[in-house]
A and B are shown apart, each in its own frame.
Chain A
Amino acid sequence: MGSPYGALAGAKLRSLASSPRLLMLRSAGDVVIVAMEALAPLLLVSRFGSIAGWSGPEVVMLIGVARTGEGLALIVGRGIDPNTFGDTVRLGRFDQILTRPVSPLLWLLTSDVELRFVFRAVAGAGVVLWSAHSLGVLSPGTAAVLAAAAVSSAVFVLSTLVIGAAMTFRTVEGSDFALLLSNGGMGLAAFPLEVYSSALRLIFTFLVPVGLCVYVPVLTVLDRDGPGLLGPGLLPLLPIVLGVFGGLSLLAWRRGIRHYESTGS
């Protein structure tokens, strides 16, 4: 990371440190949200016996991986999330960023670092560790797969945010659909894909690769097969499909910037 980006992130971190109570409250809130979400499948399993054959801790592992990845992505993703970036464009502030001798995307990612999401990632990781421990599957090998899954999920969320930001250049509100893609994708990946129809499974594995980022690695760790095509054998496809998805998002961003004709006054 070049020095201007490090300096930007540093400045933002110092400003966050100036209101520690707010940061503490929001971080605690993020931990509570992850904990409550992990509690939900446990309650369901205690009533129904299992969720499509998955035990409580197994489903919790999916939620943990998804939330860790989301937390990691949002630490830097705030500057391009639809709400923030919509304002940046609408109020004409993006023009100023374009005049600077920096990469606009890296500027946006580093200028709005949000520490509270570190706690969402840590809570997610805690949930994953708890489930792996109670299932007795914790080993250096599975830890590596789970870490790769979390990082892939983070790349997935960031890519959807970049797509959303690119759409913002055309319509300020349209980018909310990208938020739906990442929130919806994460919500969908919080449960085993056996739950959904084969069409939904296919779309959210290969087209919107959240299933490949969360579900397939967890299948690998748990050493179980999914429905249809889905199984640990798909894991090698993850970097390829995610690479294409991320590449397309960057392409959309570049086209968006070329299309951009300034707003505000």
Chain B
Amino acid sequence: MGGYAALYWAGFRRQSRYVASLTVGIAANVFFGIIRSALFVTLYRQRDQVAGLDITAVLTYVWILQVVFGVVFISWIWEFADSVRSGDFAAELVRPGAVLGRLLAVDLGRSSFALATRGLPQLVVAGIVLDLRLPTTPPGVVMLALSLALCAVAASELRFLFGSLAFWTPDYRGWWTMLFGFLWFTGGFLVPVEFFPGALRWIGEYGPLSGLLAMPVRVATGRGAASALAVQACWVLIAAAACHAVMATAERRMVIHGG
């Protein structure tokens, strides 16, 4: 376990070196946060409550979105897939410990840094300036922290699953572009999942992508926080099993070229 913790901290420290990219990331997040806030403030002049959400809940959604955005859509998305393609990944196979565990530990370390420095400060500032619905009791705060941590794990697993396409096809970047639009939309990154019609709403609220944004928002606003955490944990475990199965197959399949 100590080895994985060391890798986690190595990932965390590595990401802390990219100060300029962090500043730009924060600037972009804040800008889009302001645009989205303005949009929903305008919309809620026409209605008080829509699909069970009032303006406070939706503004909380907007700023939780800004927090998790830098954790889900990160800049190093291609590193793993590219290393599989170039063959550099072979070095990973001879290192001690489980390959998957090591990869996830480093990735999680890097995204934890993004969460702590790029995401959370924005939420704090937005919470001071705007009327958001954030937990004020210690158990509520702990649950939100847990939910954001589960979001980071789910995002790492998702990235691994996408990246592992490189074991099978050289067109993995194409597949990622192809799937990105669906992920972006069904994850609720364009419009809150509560606004989806019919069955699509159910998929958005409880489906495999719900742990990225929809569930953290529910935990933050205190709408069935405990059950939201349970659903999130379930999807993290299912995704972990999927990652494990994919890694086991890929390890047998991988052919290393060169000397």
Contact = CB atoms under 8 A, between A and B. Distances in A.
Contacts of B177: 25-26, 29-30, 116
A173 B38 contact: no
A135 interface: no
A50 B174 contact: no
B21 interface: yes
B237 interface: no
B185 A36 contact: yes
A200 B34 CA distance: 10
Given A29-B181, A51-B43, A177-B27, 8 more contacts: A19-B170, A21-B171, A22-B170, A29-B178, A40-B190, A48-B43, A183-B28, A187-B35
Interface in B15-47: 20-21, 24, 27-28, 31-32, 34-35, 38-39, 42-43, 46-47
Contacts of A36: 181-182, 184-185, 190
B202 interface: no
CB-CB nearest 7 A-B residue pairs: A25-B174, A29-B177, A173-B20, A32-B181, A176-B24, A29-B178, A33-B181
A163 interface: no
Contacts of B196: 43
Contacts of A23: 174
Interface stretch (A96-104, A105-113, A191-199, A255-263): A191-199
Interface in A174-229: 174, 176-177, 179-180, 183-184, 187-188, 191, 194-197, 200
The contact size tier of chain B is 35 or more
A52 B50 contact: no
A29 B180 CA distance: 7
Interface in B151-181: 170-171, 173-181
Nearest to A37: B190
21 contacts: A21-B171, A22-B174, A26-B173, A26-B178, A28-B178, A29-B176, A29-B179, A32-B180, A39-B185, A39-B190, A40-B190, A43-B195, A47-B51, A49-B46, A50-B46, A177-B27, A180-B28, A183-B28, A184-B35, A196-B35, A197-B38
B191 interface: yes
Contact of A180 (B24, B174, B180, B185): B24
Contacts of B180: 29, 32-33
Contacts of B178: 25-26, 28-29, 32
A91 B185 CA distance: 37
Contacts of A251: none
A2 to B, nearest CB: 32
B197 interface: yes
A176 B47 contact: no
A25 B42 contact: no
Contacts of B182: 32, 36
A11 interface: no
Contacts of B43: 44, 48, 51
A134 interface: no
Contacts of A26: 173-174, 177-178
B192 to A, nearest CB: 10
Given A180-B24, A195-B39, A47 B195 contact: yes
The contact size tier of chain A is 35 or more
A139 interface: no
A132 B105 CA distance: 51
A122 to B, nearest CB: 15
Contact of A22 (B51, B171, B197): B171
A250 interface: no
Contacts of A46: 197
Interface in B182-215: 182, 184-185, 190-191, 195-197
A43 B31 contact: no
Contacts of A195: 38-39, 42
Contacts of B24: 173, 176-177, 179-180
Contacts of B28: 180, 183-184
For B43, B47, B179, which residue has the most chain A Cβ atoms within 10 angstroms?
A: B43
Contacts of A89: none
A241 interface: no
A265 B141 CA distance: 51
A180 B26 CA distance: 11
A137 interface: no
B50 A47 contact: yes
For A26, A37, A51, which residue has the most chain B Cβ atoms within 10 angstroms?
A: A26
B124 to A, nearest CB: 22
A195 to B, nearest CB: 5
A138 interface: no
Nearest to B35: A188
Contacts of A116: 177
